[in-house]
Amino acid sequence: MRLGRLHHVGFVVANIEAGVEGFRKSLGAGWDGLIFHDPIQKVRVTFLKTQHAGDASIELVEPAGEDSPVTGFLQKGGGLHHLCYEVADLEGELKAIRAQRGLIVRRPVPAVAFGGRRIAWALTAEKLLLEFLEEPGK
């Protein structure tokens, strides 16, 4: 694989508004108050930024309905869910994951929180859930 930079680390929470302050305080992070509803992913998401400009963001993910793909994960307690890498070649990353016995969980779709840039999901042979975010301009 040719992973790009670690873009964010995702945590599944029951309610963004109820949980964001605890995350913010624990991480010493800033929050701009923006919450994105993504009807394709069936989630609501927000991002926190730590004090170091180069750090990956922290994403809080809330199910936007009972049929959300993260509802089952939340019912098991939620918490750390995935790592997201920004990549130059989204299709190439998916091909590399498959070559390493990984499973494509979700083919590329546009994401509201990233201005329509495509994301895809894969589960590695080690059971690590990865999100791939297409670099801007692709």
Residues 54-85 pLDDT 10s = 999 999 999 999 999 999 999 999 999 999 99
Residue among 92, 86, 77 nearest 1 (CA): 92
Which has the higher per-residue pLDDT, 55 or 3?
55
Asked if residue 122 has pLDDT above 70, the reply is yes
| % of the chain exceeding 70 in pLDDT | 99
At residue 78, the 3 state secondary structure works out as coil
pLDDT of res. 53:
87
pLDDT of res. 4:
87
Asked if residue 137 has pLDDT above 90, the reply is no
Tell me which H or E stretch contains 20.
helix 16-27
Per-residue pLDDT averaged across 84-103, rounded?
Answer: 95
pLDDT of res. 45:
98
Per-residue pLDDT averaged across 18-28, rounded?
Answer: 97
> pTM of the full predicted structure?
0.94
Domains of the chain: 6-134 (3.10.180.10)
β 118-123/129-134 pair status: antiparallel
pLDDT of res. 129:
98
